[in-house]
């Protein structure tokens, strides 16, 4: 193996640049030529592939987003599109790829590597949702929960000043990891996640108890994928159940959770996994997600990583209930 490609795909996450830097510099250290593939699979189809050197990844460790950019690619979903991508990779002599992303990224890698077996693929878990099987934490998750926590702390200041009930929506279309940890860290009265059915009556009962205890504010954290329809709809339902006179506000944190300078934990995780991914390719490993569990580096086949989701710890839900 002489030449290795790296790309980022799907939603960006803080720490992706640190992972790119690690892959590039580890490849150079091991005597390989690294190539950056811009805009994910679409860049592979369009031949947006450039050779990188140590200077290419200088001073990016602290940057959010991804210098290689990201994009969705309908063309790559077709056999013709994948054939174009393969032709471009072979044109550059690339025989191994590090794919940084989530479920969709690894699904594409699995299909491509089944069709073209002479190109190795390994994946790095780059997503703020932390829902991938095969790693305790994904690259970007720690930064995202700290960003959410900081924003909610600020919202709580104004909630306390005006005796308000705030519904704060955080990212998490299919998983409630951000909502749950941010909720515990900020002392939220309730946390609503996709993994649990939302009981509006129970929520109202809890909020009434807060009023009876003369708490001067309340925060309800809602993951965007909650089954009740998100923060605005939940606020409307709560208001309709006897909270008409209570001052309510809804805040959607949105994409600010994806941005910002990565935390030390995310930089360390990305750097470690980037190095391990290149070493895995050098050892002939292919078709796996490279993750970290209990301080150990583990390989999880793409098939297993895609089909299985990391599950919420029920103890964390109990903590919310007890400490609120």
Cα–Cα distance measured from residue 264 to residue 270, given in angstroms and rounded to the nearest whole number: 10
Are 126 and 139 within 8 A, CB to CB?
yes
**129 catalytic per annotation:** yes
Of the candidates 129, 131, 142, 266, the residue annotated as catalytic is 129
Taking alpha carbons only, the member of 173, 149, 156 closest to residue 223 is: 173
What 8-state DSSP symbol labels residue 3? E
Q: Which residue has the tokens 């839900």?
A: 317
Q: Which residue has the tokens 């309730």?
A: 190
Helices 141-162 and 177-186: crossing angle, nearest 10°? 50
Cα–Cα distance measured from residue 31 to residue 2, given in angstroms and rounded to the nearest whole number: 8
Cα–Cα distance measured from residue 112 to residue 246, given in angstroms and rounded to the nearest whole number: 55
Are 261 and 14 within 8 A, CB to CB?
yes
CA-only gyration radius of the chain, Å: 22
* Residues paired with residue 125 on neighbouring β-strands, in sequence order: 101
Q: Which helix (H) or strand (E) holds 98?
A: strand 96-101
Are 95 and 51 within 8 A, CB to CB?
no
Instruction: Give the catalytic positions in this structure.
Output: 129
């Amino acid at each position: 193996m002489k030449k290795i490609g790296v790309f980022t795909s799907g939603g960006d996450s803080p720490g992706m640049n640190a992972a790119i830097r690690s892959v590039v510099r580890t490849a150079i250290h091991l005597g390989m030529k690294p190539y950056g593939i811009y805009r994910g699979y679409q860049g592979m189809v369009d031949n947006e592939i450039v050779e990188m050197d140590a200077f290419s990844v200088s001073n990016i460790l602290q940057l959010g987003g991804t210098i290689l950019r990201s994009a969705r690619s309908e063309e790559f979903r077709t056999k013709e599109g994948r054939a174009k991508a393969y032709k471009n990779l072979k044109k550059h002599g690339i025989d191994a790829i590090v794919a940084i992303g989530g479920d969709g990224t690894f699904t594409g890698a699995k299909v491509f590597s089944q069709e073209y077996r002479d190109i190795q693929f390994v994946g790095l878990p780059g997503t703020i949702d932390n829902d991938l099987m095969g790693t305790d934490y994904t690259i970007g998750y720690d930064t995202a929960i700290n960003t959410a926590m900081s924003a909610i702390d600020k919202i709580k200041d104004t909630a306390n000043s005006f005796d308000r009930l705030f519904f704060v929506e955080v990212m998490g279309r299919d998983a409630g990891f951000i909502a749950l940890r941010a909720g515990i860290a900020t002392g939220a009265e309730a946390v609503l996640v996709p993994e649990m059915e939302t009981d509006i009556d129970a929520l109202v009962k809890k909020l009434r108890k807060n009023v009876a205890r003369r708490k001067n504010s309340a925060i309800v954290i809602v993951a965007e994928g909650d089954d009740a329809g998100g923060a605005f709809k939940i606020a409307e339902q709560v208001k309709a159940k006897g909270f008409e006179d209570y001052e309510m506000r809804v805040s959607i944190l949105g994409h600010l959770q994806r941005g910002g300078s990565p935390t030390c934990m995310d930089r360390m995780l990305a750097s470690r996994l980037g190095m391990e991914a290149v070493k895995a390719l050098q050892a002939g490993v292919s078709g796996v997600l490279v993750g970290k569990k209990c301080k150990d580096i583990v390989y999880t086949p793409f098939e297993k990583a895609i089909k299985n989701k990391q599950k919420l710890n029920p103890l964390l839900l109990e903590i919310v209930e007890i400490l609120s």
